[in-house]
C-alpha cells in the first residue's frame, strides 16, 4: 500500500490565479499581495525567488518542502506552498488560487 500512496503523492503545483505570500516570523504574520514566481509552477525540494508582480524585485526566497491543496467555499481551488524563507527555519507560504497538483 505504501508504494501506491507514494506514487499518488503530489510533487508540484501550478496556478492560473492570484498569488500572495504569507511571511511568518516568531513575532508576526504579514501577507504580501500580488507576488509572482517565474513560470507559475513549483516543485517539492525546489528553491524559488518570489518577486513583486510585474517587477524584478526579489522580496523572498522560498525552499519548498510541503504542498497543501483545498477548495474554498466558493468552489475555487487553492493551494498553500510551504517552505523555509531566506535560509531560516521559519515556515511561510505562498497562497495560490486556481491551483492544481502536478
pTM given for the model? 0.87
Cβ count near 64 (within 10 Å): 21
CA-to-CA separations, 46 to 16, 51, 63, 73, 92, in angstroms, rounded: 19, 16, 6, 30, 15
* pLDDT single digits (tens) 42-77: 999 999 999 999 999 999 999 999 999 999 999 999
Q: Quick one: pLDDT at residue 52? A: 95
Per-residue model confidence as pLDDT tens digits over 7-55: 357 899 999 999 999 998 888 899 999 999 999 999 999 999 999 999 9
> What are the strands, taking DSSP E only, across 7-85?
12-15, 19-24, 29-32, 35-36, 41-43, 47-52, 58-71, 77-85
| Residue 1: pLDDT over 90 | no
- Kindly tell me the burial class for residue 70, based on how many C-beta atoms sit within 10 Å of its own C-beta (0-12, 13-18, 19 or more): exposed
Query: Looking at residue 27, what is its pLDDT?
Result: 87
Amino acid at each position: 500500500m505504501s508504494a501506491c500512496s507514494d506514487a499518488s503523492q503530489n510533487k508540484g503545483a501550478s496556478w492560473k490565479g492570484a498569488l500572495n505570500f504569507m511571511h511568518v516570523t516568531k513575532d508576526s504574520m504579514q501577507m504580501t499581495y500580488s507576488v509572482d514566481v517565474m513560470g507559475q509552477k513549483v516543485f517539492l525540494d525546489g528553491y524559488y525567488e518570489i518577486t513583486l508582480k510585474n517587477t524584478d524585485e526579489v522580496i523572498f526566497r522560498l525552499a519548498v518542502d510541503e504542498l497543501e491543496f483545498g477548495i474554498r467555499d466558493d468552489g475555487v481551488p487553492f493551494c498553500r506552498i510551504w517552505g523555509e524563507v531566506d535560509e531560516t527555519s521559519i515556515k511561510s507560504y505562498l497562497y495560490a488560487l486556481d491551483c492544481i497538483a502536478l
